[in-house]
Amino acid sequence: MSPATNTGQGLSRSISSLALVFGDERNRGTLRSALDSQGFASAAFDSVQTLWESMSSGRHYDALIACADKGWSQRRWANLRTMVKLPILVVVSRDALELAATFDEDSLNGERIEFATAPVDGAELAMRLRLLHTRRQGGHVPSAEEDLIWGSFHFKRAARVVLVDGVEVRLQPREFEVACILFQNLGKVVARTEIEERLFDRPSSPGSRVLDVHVTRVRRKLGLGPEKGIRLLTIYGVGYRLVALNPSP
């Protein structure tokens, strides 16, 4: 389950079969393991041609995950979009982040295209696939005032209340904002500057520990640890990452 909605079993009823293309065998294997953890079936292909042959033989796929690494090219991208009319999640490897600048505006804003940065865990993959499916169906994307739910955590954002295992936990306003930001970005690294700008409308002064204090209190009050199936990591000099340790029930 990802924030605000079921992502594993719920989404697998609408997206049940995925194709992975490009990238090396190790990267595709890592992604397939993450998808397995969320209940998705997947098949891997090293080229558009082998994917096309599979589809031509009668295999059906609901969405496509494209691994964008150092071997990526605009020719690959053009061939993929020409031959395969499926929703596409592009997973860009960290050693090829400059590729993001090569995508045209139609790709970046397309309803059938979503992006993520590797390494990416199963919870984030499921969330990105849900967004793809929602946009494809012309459905509803939760607003900032709607409830945010993951496992035993229930954030009632309109009332600014959080329940853990059904019990209200009292958070100060900025602690509540920090927690919501982290759960909204489950599996992703969130930069300190991004959180500070949302909390204070500007980055804090060098050496300030105000944000660290808020994060420490959120971790303690919500009990973010293995017993809750989730862990909050500090990425020193960068920011924070909330990681699901197992699929949410």
Which residues span the domain enclosing 224? Answer: 148-244
Do 214 and 192 sit in the same domain of this protein?
yes
Write out the H or E segment, with its range, that includes residue 210: helix 210-222
Do 119 and 194 sit in the same domain of this protein?
no
Higher local confidence (pLDDT), 23 or 31? 31
Q: Give CA–CA dist 159/161, Å, rounded.
A: 5
Higher local confidence (pLDDT), 74 or 179? 179
Higher local confidence (pLDDT), 81 or 155? 155
Do 21 and 129 sit in the same domain of this protein?
yes
Average pLDDT, the chain: 77
Question: What's the whole-number mean pLDDT along residues 133-141?
Answer: 57
Specify the pTM: 0.51
Q: Which of 4-13, 114-123, 128-137 has the highest mean pLDDT?
A: 114-123
User: DSSP letters of 140-174?
Assistant: PPP-TTS-EEETTEEEETTTTEEEETTEEE---HH
Is residue 4 situated within a structural domain?
A: no
Higher local confidence (pLDDT), 152 or 248? 152
What's the CATH code of the domain at 108? 3.40.50.2300
| Chosen domain end from 103, 136, 169 | 136
Task: Give pLDDT tens digits for 47-88.
Answer: 888 888 888 777 888 888 988 877 777 777 777 777 677 888
Do 166 and 191 sit in the same domain of this protein?
yes
Do 92 and 152 sit in the same domain of this protein?
no
| Chosen domain end from 104, 136, 168 | 136
Do 131 and 156 sit in the same domain of this protein?
no
| Residue 242 CB burial class (10 angstroms; 0-12, 13-18, ≥19) | buried
Band the pLDDT of 1: cuts 50, 70, 90. Answer: very low
Write out the H or E segment, with its range, that includes residue 182: helix 173-184
Do 131 and 170 sit in the same domain of this protein?
no
